[in-house]
Amino acid sequence: MRSETLGESSRWGEVKRGQVMIVAYLIATLELTFLFMQMGVVPYLAKSLGLDSVGFGYLQTTFGVLQLVGGPIFGRFADQFGIRAALIISCLSGSALMSISTSIPLLFLSRLPAVFMQGLPGAQKVITDLTTPSQRADALGKLGLCFGIGIIIGSALGGVLSTKFGIFVPIYVGLVGNLINTMIAMVWIPLQAKPKSDDRVTEHSTSQSGSVFSIREILHLMKFPGVMEVFIVKVFAGLPVGLFLIMFSIISMDFFGLEAVESGYLMSYFGVLQMVVQGVVVGKLTNHCTERTLLRLSIFVFAGVGLGM
């Protein structure tokens, strides 16, 4: 009888874990959808306020720097106060200030919440805590699907809404959507996703007494084996992607003269291509090539695409 009870408890734990992971995917998808919905109209909002291409580059650079700085802070906050609290703050940071961006200074001010807009890393933490090492790669890989869905739906919807109803409508929709996302996190995400058996590891690996903004504690994480190398690769890999996103907005608007809805459809097309490449092409290539070979190949492909553009 006791063994049956334990078996039922174990099965219930697996079901509960699966539900939390699905909710984490949903939160990441919704937050990315609302993010790209807003990103699609920001260039046109900036232009309507009189911001030139150089100023828009500074605006996007500010956003990128805040995201970079906010990553370690978000991780420290999640370790100290729980992943639920971290995801709630991430959702609440959505677009609260963009709705009052009626001048260039307010537009720059509206980028400040980007420090805490870390829905994708938050979902990664939930999934990492709830999966075994053998399940982790596949579970984390599905977040790429969430990213693609966010680009496709968010970009297209943002362009349509701004063209038909006004440039601020996607921002208001994003604000309401992020509030709904906050309630989803409050109801469905546990205070701590990591199983209790891992508490001892958590206590030794992360200092609970240091401040969330402690530079020393953040730098201490870089001393763990492999962390610095991965950090450097991600920074240098993310730089051209960031430049592409900035220049794409400027070129599509100034050079090709695309309207918001047309630019949104084009970004959605990029999202479809990304999902096909990540979900089909890369999966097929992994059966024939090593990860190191694929990484090197991707560098040459990325460089070729950049030169072609």
Q: What CATH superfamily classification does 2-308 receive?
A: MFS general substrate transporter like domains (1.20.1250.20)
DSSP label at 281?
I
**Which residues fall within 8 angstroms of residue 169, CB to CB, at 6 or more apart?**
161, 162
Q: Which residue has the tokens 């610095």?
A: 228
149 closest CA partner among 275, 263, 241: 275
Closest CA to 246 of 55, 49, 114, 30: 55
Asked whether 80 and 34 are in contact (CB, 8 A), the reply is no
The C-alpha atoms of residue 151 and residue 268 are separated, in whole angstroms, by 6
What's the residue count for the chain?
309
Cα–Cα dist 180/174, whole Å: 10
Angle at which helices 227-254 and 291-308 cross, to 10°:
20
- Burial zone of 119 (CB within 10 Å; 0-12 exposed, 13-18 middle, 19+ buried): buried
CA 248, 251, 252, 253 dihedral sign is positive
> Distance between CA atoms of 52 and 43, rounded to whole angstroms?
10
- In this structure, what token pair is assigned to residue 38? 């807003």
Task: Give the pLDDT of residue 195.
Answer: 60
Determine the pLDDT at residue 32: 92
User: How many whole angstroms separate alpha carbon 101 and alpha carbon 108?
Assistant: 8
Q: Which segments of the chain have a pLDDT < 50?
A: 1-9, 12, 198-207
pLDDT at 219: 74
> CA–CA separation, 212 vs 79, rounded Å?
9
Other CB atoms within 10 Å distance of the CB of residue 24? 28
